[in-house]
Structure 1
Amino acid sequence: MSHNTPLPLLVELFTEELPPKALARLGDAFAQGIERGLKERGLLPPEALATPFATPRRLAVGFDAVLGKAPDTAIRAKVLPVSVALDKDGNPAPPLAKKLAAMGFADLPLDALERASDGKAEAFFYTYTAPGLALAEALQAALDETLGKLPIPKVMNYQRPDGKSVQFVRPVHALVALHGSQIVPVTALGLAAGNTTLGHRFLSHGPISLDAAQNYAGLLAEQGKVIASYAERKATIRRELLAKAGGDHVVMPEALLDEVCALVEWPVVYECHFEAAFLEVPQECLILTMQTNQKYFAVTDRPLEQGGRLRNRFLIVSNIATATPQHIVEGNERVVRPRLADARFFFAQDQKKTLAQRVPQLAQVVYHNKLGTQLERTRRLEKLAGAIAADLGADPSQCERAAHLCKADLLTDMVGEFPELQGTMGTYYARHDGESEEVALACSEHYQPRFAGDNLPASLTGTVVALADKLETLVGIWGIGLHPTGEKDPFALRRHALGVLRILIEKPLPLSLPALLDAAYAQFTGGVKAPDYLADVYQFLLDRLRGYLKDKGYSANEIEAVLSQNPARMDDVLMRLEAVRAFSALPEAEALAAANKRIGNILRKAGEDRESSGIASIVTPALLKEDAERALAADVARVAPVVSERLTERAYGDALAALAQLRTAVDAFFNDVMVMADDMALRNNRLALLAQLHAQMNCVADISKLAA
């Protein structure tokens, strides 16, 4: 075996319990940092694989193949320009000796240097072999760099055994660095590397001596009762939860799985129960209570999205494996009971006052100091919802009632305890109060979509109030100068904008987006800027739309062809895009797109030309002198009513297909006709013909954007 044969490498920091919500990120950053540092220094062969490890008490990374020393490398270094290195007689000048000494090559003879061009002038170069770094030196550098860049949420100061102060996310007790079976002599946070670690805090006894890097995960599992891999531990938890659920469904959001995975090293799932009487409380409250406060997994009879109902049993992930878990089970059942009782109490207390009775209290809740209270906002939502309802043919009274009540649950005890339940509790309380089902549903649906990929409101009333809520936020917050900048978007305007677009497109709704922005602005009686900024809000929405359409697979050219026209209605954007895509596949498309671009340039230049400022709005047949221009005028006149009819039917593909018939006449026109004739009457008549053609060609989209 070569003395530089790649061997497995392990690096581990053994710590006090790490912050659970940061563990996954810390583990990935630690592994990636060490990998990057070794790769940059030439220690990792191209096929080397890295395996990250992260548990509540350790950050580690293993590699299957790492060199003990990086290969030597040939370096061709520029020394100095010849004009600087030599004096006027061609002899070495003092700057050359100084430069060579600085490079570590003092007394190097001139004939050892290569004289060549550096691309600008002649220069001297020197090629030498740089020895590769030893693993210890490279790993030390990689370790130092990685620890300095870890995404630590909050740094902790602690004292090492020698009394010196150290800063890290948590106190570190041991460092392991093994290359094969050999300890790599590196240090970190005042600790020298060894080959000893510890296992589970309760299930393992005494230090674990690691005989070889590749045996790390196996020894920890066997002797230490620790599943070192974060991904493997999470998969184990998921598998055990599903097995314990039997025929039921486990409610296990990824964030909860991640947090629990970061709390245990040897996960064991146990089943617990609570009294069935608690099921009288809305299940969203009980589920959130168990997840947020106790990190428990609720169990339902089928998936929630399919109308699943909560069972009175729940699953816990323990860090203790025992054949007699009754004490663990009883302890968790005892702990959850007061939490569920609190939820039941909040629910009962909240129902003593109707949502309508709570609305006046919204005057005590500030929405924004420049935009007034939540009550003032509620009044704006009522009027805007009524206006949108009238345009859609919905019941304005229902929509205004829903808007009147939709923020009232913010004042309830349940939402005060669990803000995530705003809207959800509004629906429950509205039903209890005897409101119509449309109004009750709108109390929760008006927040939809809450995130990317979330469901849209199902009811028409919910849809109207959702639009009103998002538009009021966009126009109001933008109107006081708090539009998103860079990554900062504290009022989630990007999310609100995408919500508006998704509702208009996916429902779909025959509404004008600029008109909606105007209607939202009309509800503000003061505090916001003059309405000029609404154009910026509209463009902001179009920018969000570009991303949305790109995700749907449309090309940048297709998207710009449609959106550069600043469409008012979003409900036919997808139809226009499909028409553009179909047109692009026609044999005439490329030539017509190029012609359209040329026409646009001609008309733009003519508009800037004072001599051509008298372009007619209609074409005068008597001034059509050439056969080609007469033929084009006849074809435009023939096609125009067909295109107009197709546009009325919103048959955009057929409209563009009809325009494709113009290709022959357009090609002939540009081959045979001089547009910018000396005779101003002829020139302006030809420009008028091109203007008519341009308007026809761009009736669905700006097809010039398709030109390469």
Structure 2
Amino acid sequence: MTTQNLLLELFVEELPPKALKALGEAFSHTLAESLRASGLATAQSAVTAFASPRRLGAHISGVRAHADDKPVSQKLMPVAVALDAAGNPTPALLKKLGALGFDAAVVPQLKRQPDGKAEALFLDTVVKGATLADGLQKALDEALTKLPIPKVMQYQLADGWTSVNFVRPAHGLVALHGADLVSIKALGLVSGRETHGHRFEADVDPVVVQDADHYARQLEEQGAVIAGFAARHAEIARQLKVAADREGLVPIHDPALLDEVTALVERPNVLLCQFEEEFLAVPQECLILTMKANQKYFPLLDAAGKLTNKFLIVSNIRPADPSRVVGGNERVVRPRLADAKFFFDQDRKKTLASRVEGLAKVVYHGKLGTQGERVERVRGIARAIGERLGGADLAAQADTAANLAKADLLTDMVGEFPELQGIMGGYYARGDGLGDTIATAIEDHYKPRFAGDELPRNDVGVAVALADKLETLVGLFGIGQLPTGDKDPFALRRHALGVVRMLVERELALDIDALIDTAVKTFGPLIADPAKTVGLVVDFMFDRLAVSLRDQGYAAQEIDAVLSRRSSRVHEVPRALAAVKAFAALPEAASLAAANKRVGNILNKSEGVAGTVPDPARFVEPQEQALFEALRTANGPSTAAFERGDYSASLQALAVLKAPVDAFFDGVMVNAEDPALRANRLALLASLHAAMNRVADLSKLAS
């Protein structure tokens, strides 16, 4: 059957820009999948999504006008129910056939086939394939229902009575199969071939679409609109680079901003603007944020990454003389920058230290007190961490930074731009003469803020960042505010991963159980069950660590082997994983892992029976003596390697045990009738088990 390409477009009022990309992708994907399910499109049908501020659409290649008929075999009922003793149809069968549109004449055509232990009657029919009009109507209805609409609005149709719920009022529907119109309906609209281009710059209105394949070209040439989101995105990126290169500068890299601007314009036109250099005295983070967040501008940076007084705008029009557009945007941005400068100048009139007292009036959490009380807890944890990492000097610096870290929450700049908390604290600390170490720690104490973010840059920052995240985790776990499913309103998973990353990537020799216990103690009576809270937070930390390691590509068995030991020194985990990976590659690994699992099962069933250490004088079988000697020989270098942190060498030293372990299980009955002999053999296995599981639980590697 011949095929043609299909075009569907829904023309609407301006769609929410932050949702446009997802709306366009969902719309085209659901349309294509539904048409494939109806047999009108195939897996090879290419899908091109269209999404602009005023349209959602899709171009799907290789679509049939009519799907193939499909043979269907339908089970009716068991033979014992369908036919009487004489083989005639029962009333139950006739009623079933009648409901399907058949009568008794079809009974001889029914097939008897096994169905479990009995036989059943089956009716073979042919279901006519869907027409494109029916299949596309179903696909469009499904696509509209499944759109990830952030918020639905209700509006009335032209009749003044009928109400419709959709993301925005819809005003046009185009459906073309090749050059042929497909008759469908949606949202009070009937399909046609007319659409609309740019509000002001279209050469033709309406644009009469010639056929499915000319849609995008006609919209661009006649309607002054780049309909495809991806095509518009690429064009904006190209224009930004050309304009920046012309100035020898670099536009700020912000994929989310580029996506949002792509969703705001239909005919992008990048123009160069500038502001007064005096505003560059304000921290560049403030200026960049206000230009991006409020105006959707692209600040320009020099080669060193420093902000310049030039920026790029993406206009939706292309006038012959763009000077009025440029001038208008320069006038608009000036008050924004002036506000930022005013906030910065006002904030510097008070020191950070003078603001700390005000935190006592800011509620942190109804059950956990004020920000002032929280700061005192963070100070206590930070001092303890600083003491363990670098002694009294580091503890004192961590205390100072923790005391001031939240003070910028009370500044005008952070009040206007919450995203700048910590960053502004660093600027104000330098202005107060506190030095770069303290200022950097204040700036970094929220890090890592997201997956892949950089860690704090100095030890003071690490101490305060760990303290801040541990205080949050322990406090909220302590009052029962645990994450559930996909709900994590306090970002506790991110906080836990941040703690894990700092311990592992900075190779901090800190005991995670001790850290959490220290944090719990700072809350005093606010936490009703300290021991339970410690356990919950530790479990949560290891769960996050396991997720992180899986994301990094480590095998599940290897992760399980290392983490099942629950070593509180998590900074050693990467070395242990590398050692387990190297051990697993040895030819002896599978046999030793299986033996280790067997030993563990035996010891678990014989709990309390094994002696403390095996007595060579009690050995009866030569295999016992051989395993004892092999273990004593291997254990020396294995223990020495473990104590110097060479976990790979520690595990590989045990490879020589394969033969004596196999021989032991082949020739020795562990559960001997003599209790003393049994206890001695169990003691030997316990020694073997301890040696093999020093780095990781090798039984987890057994398949």
TM-score range, shorter chain: over 0.9
Match of residue 544 from structure 1? 544
Match of residue 653 from structure 2? 658
The CA distance in 2 between the partners of 1:64 and 1:686, in whole Å, is: 73
Q: Give how far 1:128 is off.
A: 1.5
Match of residue 439 from structure 2? 440
Q: Give how far 1:145 is off.
A: 1.5
The CA distance in 1 between the partners of 2:282 and 2:78, in whole Å, is: 83
AA aligned opposite 1:17: E
Confirm or deny that 1:141 pairs with 2:142: no
The CA distance in 1 between the partners of 2:103 and 2:266, in whole Å, is: 58
The CA distance in 2 between the partners of 1:46 and 1:258, in whole Å, is: 29
The CA distance in 2 between the partners of 1:424 and 1:237, in whole Å, is: 30
1:215-271 Cα distance to aligned partner (Å, 9 max, x none): 000000000000000011011111101110012110131111111111100000000
AA aligned opposite 2:167: V
Confirm or deny that 1:107 pairs with 2:90: no
TM-score (norm 2): 0.98
- Contact residue 15 and residue 172 of structure 1 kept, 8 A: yes
- Contact residue 30 and residue 142 of structure 2 kept, 8 A: yes
- Partner secondary structure for residue 571 of structure 2: coil
Match of residue 251 from structure 2? 250
The CA distance in 2 between the partners of 1:536 and 1:624, in whole Å, is: 45
Matches within 5 A, 1:381-400: 381-393=378-390, 395-400=394-399
Q: Give how far 1:107 is off.
A: 2.8
Q: Give how far 1:585 is off.
A: 1.1
- Contact residue 249 and residue 299 of structure 1 kept, 8 A: yes
Match of residue 595 from structure 2? 595
Q: Give how far 1:403 is off.
A: 0.4
Matches within 5 A, 1:326-475: 326-393=323-390, 395-475=394-474
1:47-78 Cα distance to aligned partner (Å, 9 max, x none): 11111000000011111221001111111111
Q: Give how far 1:640 is off.
A: 2.3
- Greater alpha carbon shift after TM alignment, 448-457 vs 524-533: 524-533
- 1:66 pairs, out of 53, 63, 67, with 63
Matches within 5 A, 1:65-104: 65-104=62-101
- 1:638 pairs, out of 616, 633, 642, with 633
Match of residue 174 from structure 1? 172
Confirm or deny that 1:500 pairs with 2:499: yes
- Contact residue 217 and residue 228 of structure 1 kept, 8 A: yes
AA aligned opposite 1:702: D
- Partner secondary structure for residue 516 of structure 1: helix
- 1:35 pairs, out of 32, 37, 40, with 32
The CA distance in 2 between the partners of 1:466 and 1:109, in whole Å, is: 78
The CA distance in 1 between the partners of 2:652 and 2:145, in whole Å, is: 62
The CA distance in 2 between the partners of 1:436 and 1:277, in whole Å, is: 25
Q: Give how far 1:202 is off.
A: 0.6
- Partner secondary structure for residue 47 of structure 1: coil
Match of residue 266 from structure 1? 267
Match of residue 581 from structure 2? 581
Q: Give how far 1:436 is off.
A: 2.0
- Contact residue 8 and residue 63 of structure 1 kept, 8 A: yes
- Partner secondary structure for residue 526 of structure 1: helix
- Contact residue 100 and residue 108 of structure 1 kept, 8 A: no
Q: Give how far 1:695 is off.
A: 0.5
Q: Give how far 1:323 is off.
A: 1.8
- Partner secondary structure for residue 132 of structure 1: coil
AA aligned opposite 1:26: L
Percent of pairs with identical residues: 55
The CA distance in 1 between the partners of 2:4 and 2:693, in whole Å, is: 65
Q: Give how far 1:690 is off.
A: 0.5
Matches within 5 A, 1:145-224: 145-163=142-160, 164-204=162-202, 205-224=204-223
Match of residue 610 from structure 1? none
AA aligned opposite 2:104: D
Confirm or deny that 1:14 pairs with 2:11: yes
Match of residue 569 from structure 1? 569
The CA distance in 2 between the partners of 1:501 and 1:614, in whole Å, is: 39
AA aligned opposite 1:543: D
The CA distance in 1 between the partners of 2:533 and 2:331, in whole Å, is: 57
Q: Give how far 1:580 is off.
A: 0.6
- Greater alpha carbon shift after TM alignment, 529-538 vs 290-299: 529-538
- Partner secondary structure for residue 572 of structure 1: helix
The CA distance in 2 between the partners of 1:148 and 1:704, in whole Å, is: 50
The CA distance in 2 between the partners of 1:54 and 1:614, in whole Å, is: 72
The CA distance in 2 between the partners of 1:578 and 1:422, in whole Å, is: 38
- Contact residue 175 and residue 192 of structure 2 kept, 8 A: yes
Q: Give how far 1:189 is off.
A: 0.6
Q: Give how far 1:45 is off.
A: 2.4
- Partner secondary structure for residue 367 of structure 1: strand
AA aligned opposite 2:523: F
The CA distance in 1 between the partners of 2:212 and 2:527, in whole Å, is: 64
AA aligned opposite 1:67: R
Q: Give how far 1:606 is off.
A: 1.1
TM-score (norm 1): 0.97
AA aligned opposite 2:684: L
- Contact residue 45 and residue 67 of structure 1 kept, 8 A: no
1:586-632 Cα distance to aligned partner (Å, 9 max, x none): 1111111010000001111112xxxxx44211112221111110111
The CA distance in 1 between the partners of 2:602 and 2:60, in whole Å, is: 64
1:350-401 Cα distance to aligned partner (Å, 9 max, x none): 0000000000000011111111111111111111111001111151111100
The CA distance in 2 between the partners of 1:529 and 1:203, in whole Å, is: 67
- Partner secondary structure for residue 201 of structure 2: coil
1:497-523 Cα distance to aligned partner (Å, 9 max, x none): 110111111111111111111111111
Structure 1: 5+ residue runs without aligned partners?
608-612
Match of residue 604 from structure 2? 604
The CA distance in 1 between the partners of 2:578 and 2:244, in whole Å, is: 46
Q: Give how far 1:671 is off.
A: 0.9
AA aligned opposite 1:370: K
Report how many residues are paired: 696
Q: Give how far 1:324 is off.
A: 0.2
- 1:667 pairs, out of 662, 670, 673, with 662
Q: Which runs of 4+ in 1 moved over 4 A?
A: none
AA aligned opposite 2:40: L
- Contact residue 477 and residue 536 of structure 2 kept, 8 A: no
Q: Give how far 1:642 is off.
A: 2.1
The CA distance in 1 between the partners of 2:609 and 2:227, in whole Å, is: 80
Match of residue 284 from structure 2? 283
- Greater alpha carbon shift after TM alignment, 209-218 vs 660-669: 660-669
Match of residue 704 from structure 1? 699
The CA distance in 2 between the partners of 1:220 and 1:146, in whole Å, is: 23
- Contact residue 441 and residue 457 of structure 2 kept, 8 A: no
- Contact residue 64 and residue 214 of structure 1 kept, 8 A: no
Q: Give how far 1:637 is off.
A: 2.2
Superposed CA RMSD: 1.1
Q: Give how far 1:105 is off.
A: 2.1
1:276-335 Cα distance to aligned partner (Å, 9 max, x none): 000000000000010111111100003xxxx51111011000000012000000000000
Confirm or deny that 1:232 pairs with 2:231: yes
AA aligned opposite 2:301: T
1:428-458 Cα distance to aligned partner (Å, 9 max, x none): 0000001021110011111111000000111
- Partner secondary structure for residue 161 of structure 1: coil
- Partner secondary structure for residue 494 of structure 1: helix
The CA distance in 1 between the partners of 2:210 and 2:305, in whole Å, is: 51
- Contact residue 382 and residue 399 of structure 2 kept, 8 A: yes
Structure 2: 5+ residue runs without aligned partners?
none
AA aligned opposite 1:701: A
- Contact residue 609 and residue 682 of structure 2 kept, 8 A: no
- 2:619 pairs, out of 615, 624, 645, with 624
AA aligned opposite 1:352: K
